[in-house]
Amino acid sequence: MTDTAYVNLEIQNNIGIITFFHPKSNSLPGHILTQLAQTIKTASDNDEVRTIVLKSDGNKAFCAGASFDELLQIEDIETGKKFFSGFASVINEIRKSTKFVIARVHGKAVGGGVGLAAAADYALAYKDSSIKLSEFALGIGPFVVGPAVERKIGRAAFAQISTDAEWYNSTWALNKGLYANVYYSVDDLNDEVTKLALKLASMSPDATKELKKIFWEGTENWDELLSQRAEISGKLVLSEFTKNYIKQFKNK
């Protein structure tokens, strides 16, 4: 495996497999977020692709969320908004896609990683795939990913994991509806992701498109909403509280 971050699209049996990777626990810097959003759109616009699988590489974390290195470099509101708008773009491309998106969650998901799992139409996970919304502890808050997470698990559960910023195991995530199913071996997870993807790819593209519209009904304002949320995060990331927290975390 390379130490260079990347996003890759591979098409097999009408399945668009999108894989992202970053050497620091699959964290997401701005350029990877941009590539990820563009790749989701590319797969969505390709008539050969009937369904999309979103996964990360490696055998550790599924996604560690925002890149702390990049957060420390943000020095003004516009730059902050642009960075967090990257998460908004990824969520909105999944929302707008006419294809169902399956998330393969093979490990822990933090912050934006939880947002990716929530935005997916179907998330399948390995048993060790605990989740954590850590943004509030940083002095920010899960503003951009919040609508996707709340849509999937409900407001009460979203409020719980947002405010205490603690780890929740895969059983909790399964019971709340974030994960559709949890598997006790990675081989089983891989088999079930492939099985589901092939099944969805065999369905009518027109019916899929209409069904997805129904599932995402009421989110038509998310382009504007998530942009507004990105601006909130872009302001808060400039605070001394946030900068100090990240520095202390990186020095551990």
Question: What is the total residue count of the chain?
Answer: 252
The pLDDT assigned to 213 comes to 97
Please give the structure tokens belonging to residue 57.
Answer: 């590489």
Report yes or no: 224 and 129 within 8 Å, Cβ to Cβ: no
Confidence at 250, pLDDT banded by 50, 70, 90: confident
**CATH number 3.50.50.60 is the correct assignment for the domain at 6-187:** no
Question: How does the average pLDDT of the chain come out, rounded?
Answer: 96
Amino acid type, 6 = Y
Please give the structure tokens belonging to residue 9.
Answer: 């699209």
Report yes or no: 21 and 167 within 8 Å, Cβ to Cβ: no
Tell me the pLDDT tens digit for each residue of 66-110: 999 999 999 999 999 999 999 999 999 999 999 999 999 999 999
User: Does the structure show a pLDDT above 90 at 58?
Assistant: yes
Residue 28 DSSP class: B
| Boundaries of every domain in the chain | 6-187
Enumerate the β-bridge partners of residue 55. 19
Burial of 224 (0-12, 13-18, 19+ CB in 10 A): exposed
User: CA 55 to CA 15: how far, in whole Å?
Assistant: 13
User: CA 69 to CA 24: how far, in whole Å?
Assistant: 10
22-61: buried (b, 16+ CB within 10 Å) or exposed (e) per residue? beebbbbbbebbbbbbebbbebbeeeebbbbbbbbbeeeb
User: Does the structure show a pLDDT above 90 at 2?
Assistant: no
Name the percent of the chain lying above pLDDT 70: 99
User: Does the structure show a pLDDT above 60 at 194?
Assistant: yes
User: Does the structure show a pLDDT above 70 at 1?
Assistant: no
